[in-house]
Structure 1
Amino acid sequence: MASRRRLKKDIDYLCFEVISDCYNYNYLHPENREQVMDIIKDTIIARNNLIARVNHPDGKDNPKMVKAYYKSIFNDLIKNVDESFTRLSTLIKEK
């Protein structure tokens, strides 16, 4: 990652894309409201946890540890977003 600022922007962008897709689906199919809201809640919790992890890095003295730490945050971000989109796509396929 180039900077913490850019990583935070990536976290916000990807999480809000999931949330906006959930709201679009919820607008078109209001009968699955509870399941969609669960996806949104999980995404918001994951976003807040990731932002907190970015703000408090471990091993500030060792550059290799810092790089591995931020890489793990980015990998967790991708994993969480992929999981949320997968859950939303299963709801879409049920329709």
Structure 2
Amino acid sequence: MANKRDLKKDINYVLGDIIEAVYLWQVHNPEADKKASEEIITDAINTFDNLMVRVNERKVENYSAHFKAVREDLEKNAIELIEKVNSL
């Protein structure tokens, strides 16, 4: 069974690393338009908020399946955000 604390840490680290990558891109490209990069940061923060709400749900019948679904959504969203970062 997935540990709730570990899942929260994974969400924090993965999305934090994506945001950090965007900030590094902004530092290395000061003349570039920052609109697309700011949208990626906003998407990452919204994803973080949504996943944390789901992790903290109390009325769940099967915690293992619930945490597995949250982890899969984290992976899917992280891949999408990374693709956006790579396209900057």
Question: If the length of structure 1 is used for normalisation, what is the TM-score?
Answer: 0.85
Give 5+ residue unaligned stretches, structure 1. Answer: none
Aligned residue in 2 for 1:81: 78
8 Å contact from structure 2 (residues 51, 74) kept in 1: yes
Which residue does 2:28 correspond to in 1? 28
Contact 2:12 2:48 in 1 (8 A): yes
Q: TM-score, normalised by structure 2?
A: 0.91
Percentage of identical aligned residues? 33
Shift of 1:66: 2.1
Q: How does 1:8-87 map to 2 (within 5 A)?
A: 8-30=8-30, 31-60=32-61, 65-87=62-84
Question: How big is the shift at 1:29?
Answer: 1.1
Aligned residues: CA RMSD = 1.3
Inter-partner Cα distance in structure 2 for 1:47 and 1:28: 25
Provide the C-alpha distance between the structure 2 equivalents of 1:59 and 1:44, rounded to a whole number of angstroms.
24
